[in-house]
Amino acid sequence: MIKKGAKTLLTPAIKGAAMRLLAGLGFVFGLSAFASPVACYAAATGGQPGQFVAWGAGARSLGMGKAFFAVADDASATYWNPAAMTQLDRKEIMALHAALFADTNFNFLSYVHPTAKSGVFGGNITRLYSGGFEKIAITFDANQEDIVKIENLGTFEDSRMAFTLAYGKKIQENLSIGLAGKYINHSLDTSVSGAFTTDLTMFLEGLNHTLPGIKLGFGVNNIISSSFGDTDDVMPMIFRLGASHKFLKEKLLLAFDIDKSLTANLGWHLGTEYYLMNYLAMRLGFEGESGIRETTAGFGFKYRDYGLDYAFAFHELGLSHRFSGSWKIGDSVSVGRSAAVARLMKEAVESYRKGDLLLAHNRLERLLDIDPANKDAQNMSRRLQIIIGHIDTVVGDTEDAVAARKGIVAYLEGDDSGAVNSFRYAYYKKPENMKLLAMLNKIERELGLPLTETFKESIAGFTIVDQKVFDARQAIIDGKYDKSLIKAQEILNLEPNHVTALEIMGSAFFMMDQPEKAKEVWMKVLEVDPTNRVVPQFLNQLK
């Protein structure tokens, strides 16, 4: 506001500039007492739009020099790395508060909500508030050279807030992705500005079997950014990379991060955490660019579902303090996840046993969506895809359909020999089924077995079952009774009431001096074929 003589002229641009200047001077002065590393960072890089949302979250991470991108195993993950929220198994709240100078406060509040099936949701609020700035009007003389009067127009405030919605999802056994959207608002008296931004992150737990304990994080902040209000500032794109690893029976944690803004220097962060006891941890960290900019330290307490952390930072501009608390709520989602996994596995098994392979595949896909690390489901899904590539349903009570379903069950449950025998039997019962033959050949190649065509039925009608009967009898003659039992059992797997196979099996038990088992098998023959004349003679030998 400028006065010329008796007239008062409102000049919004000059008024806004004056208020920004006064607010900026007071704000920088106040920050030096709390976040001296931020002031130094701004000096080193020229300042960044929305810088207040880059100050960190949670005293634990701040005590580790902000080397937390590949750690992020608490509620502050909504800020550091949304993909790493998948590590959390229970709902968790974290809050940080710092009173800076008169009428200036910094607050952070975060919440993480894991689910059994749909990933992990979270959100946070960050607020920096400064109040009590004096607003004045200056009146100049007619020549606009000297100040005639300074009027006090009251006070104004500087309020900066950021709202974040975050989501994390495990997409593979050890790989998670995360997405976060931020709304940033800056109110300075009557001036309002802000931005919408989007972040994308990844979190990797272990590198195959060589480095199973290492954790890696990669992310890009402000991939999509748009500003609004009284500003032309654009949120800079920032690339982040982090690594962490635990040692000494997981008591010692080491972490290292780097970040590079397109409009700033490369920054690095190094931190460590050591648990002296199960409930007490000590922390140390360093943050810098070309050299060390800030040294931090702190400690934390854990008791059941509660945590309390404290961190302080050494800087040439002073000493700053940060406090935060956390609270875990509710039951572990693993219980619900385990129940869902068990239910889907049961439904998958029931489906493929009935021959509904597409439904079984659907259930396994849903299971792996919940639990990508489930080895049984992974292997079963892989094998089922081989079958579905040729056959998607097997129904009916014909001999070939029954044998094919038996082969599917055996193959999906790891009985390769039984699977091949059943599929071969199904093919010989219906040799025109070329889809079945193609699938069988693929499985045979996978297992390193001769293709079924090698055993194809001859003109004389010598089938695979006939071949197995011959082999079983020859094994008896050669005195290889255990081999004879195996061949007889293979026949019975295909045809449970095959009389000749039962006779041979009984004979093998008899020759192995196991009369009780021989009698049991031979009695089974009489149940299937009461007119059998050979078995009664065998039974007489047991008397």
Q: What pLDDT score was predicted for residue 268?
A: 95
Give dist(CA 12, CA 28) in Å, integer.
24
**Which of 61-75, 181-195, 309-323, 370-384 has the highest average model confidence (pLDDT)?**
61-75
Q: What pLDDT score was predicted for residue 318?
A: 64
For residue 541, give Cα distances in angstroms to 115, 193, 508, 510.
68, 101, 14, 10
In this prediction, residues 434-447 reach a mean pLDDT of 89
Give dist(CA 40, CA 94) in Å, integer.
27
Is residue 53's pLDDT more than 70?
no
Please report which confidence band the pLDDT of residue 26 belongs to, taking 50, 70 and 90 as the band edges. Answer: very low
Q: What pLDDT score was predicted for residue 308?
A: 96
Q: What pLDDT score was predicted for residue 33?
A: 34
The residues facing 202 across adjacent strands are 177, 218
Is residue 2's pLDDT more than 50?
no
Residues sharing a CB contact under 8 Å with residue 64, sequence separation 6 or more, in sequence order: 71, 255, 269, 271, 272, 273, 283, 284, 285, 296, 298
The single-letter code of the amino acid at 329 is: I
Give dist(CA 197, CA 182) in Å, integer.
5
Q: What pLDDT score was predicted for residue 70?
A: 96
In this prediction, residues 119-127 reach a mean pLDDT of 94
Q: How many CB atoms lie within 10 A of CB 467?
A: 14
**Which of 119-128, 225-234, 528-537 has the highest average model confidence (pLDDT)?**
119-128
Range with lowest mean pLDDT among 194-198, 459-463, 491-495: 459-463
% of the chain surpassing 90 pLDDT:
37
Please report which confidence band the pLDDT of residue 15 belongs to, taking 50, 70 and 90 as the band edges. Answer: very low
Length of the chain: 543
Please report which confidence band the pLDDT of residue 454 belongs to, taking 50, 70 and 90 as the band edges. Answer: low
Is residue 50's pLDDT more than 70?
no
Please report which confidence band the pLDDT of residue 42 belongs to, taking 50, 70 and 90 as the band edges. Answer: very low
Is residue 27's pLDDT more than 60?
no
Q: What pLDDT score was predicted for residue 453?
A: 67
Q: Could you tell me the end-to-end alpha-carbon distance of the chain, in angstroms, rounded to an integer?
A: 123
Q: What pLDDT score was predicted for residue 23?
A: 36
Q: What pLDDT score was predicted for residue 338?
A: 85
Please report which confidence band the pLDDT of residue 64 belongs to, taking 50, 70 and 90 as the band edges. Answer: very high
Average pLDDT, the chain: 82
**Which of 233-237, 338-342, 347-351 has the highest average model confidence (pLDDT)?**
347-351
Residue bearing the bigger pLDDT, 338 or 245: 245
Q: What pLDDT score was predicted for residue 114?
A: 94
Q: What pLDDT score was predicted for residue 11?
A: 37
Give dist(CA 507, CA 505) in Å, integer.
5
Q: What is the pLDDT of residues 281-335, one digit of tens each?
A: 999 999 998 888 889 999 999 998 999 999 988 766 567 788 999 999 988 888 8
In this prediction, residues 38-48 reach a mean pLDDT of 45
Range with lowest mean pLDDT among 19-28, 185-194, 293-302, 470-479: 19-28
Q: What pLDDT score was predicted for residue 460?
A: 46
Range with lowest mean pLDDT among 138-152, 396-410, 429-443: 138-152
Give dist(CA 442, CA 209) in Å, integer.
29
Domain coordinates in residue numbering, the chain:
2-330, 332-456, 459-543
Residues sharing a CB contact under 8 Å with residue 310, sequence separation 6 or more, in sequence order: 59, 63, 298, 299, 300, 321, 322, 323
Please report which confidence band the pLDDT of residue 197 belongs to, taking 50, 70 and 90 as the band edges. Answer: very high
Are the C-beta atoms of residues 296 and 313 closer than 8 Å to each other?
yes
In this prediction, residues 53-67 reach a mean pLDDT of 85
Give dist(CA 212, CA 245) in Å, integer.
10
Please report which confidence band the pLDDT of residue 455 belongs to, taking 50, 70 and 90 as the band edges. Answer: low
Q: How many CB atoms lie within 10 A of CB 354?
A: 14
In this prediction, residues 29-52 reach a mean pLDDT of 44
Residues sharing a CB contact under 8 Å with residue 225, sequence separation 6 or more, in sequence order: 195, 196, 197, 198, 234, 235, 237
State which fold the 459-543 domain adopts. 1.25.40
**Which of 238-242, 457-461, 476-480 has the highest average model confidence (pLDDT)?**
238-242
For residue 448, give Cα distances in angstroms to 351, 384, 428, 443, 445.
29, 19, 21, 8, 5
Kindly indicate whether the domain formed by 2-330 is annotated with CATH number 3.40.50.970.
no
Q: What pLDDT score was predicted for residue 47?
A: 55
Range with lowest mean pLDDT among 2-11, 448-457, 504-513: 2-11
Residues sharing a CB contact under 8 Å with residue 35, sequence separation 6 or more, in sequence order: 55, 106, 320
Is residue 394's pLDDT more than 80?
yes
Element (H, E) at 64: none
Q: What is the pLDDT of residues 497-515, one digit of tens each?
A: 888 888 888 888 888 888 8
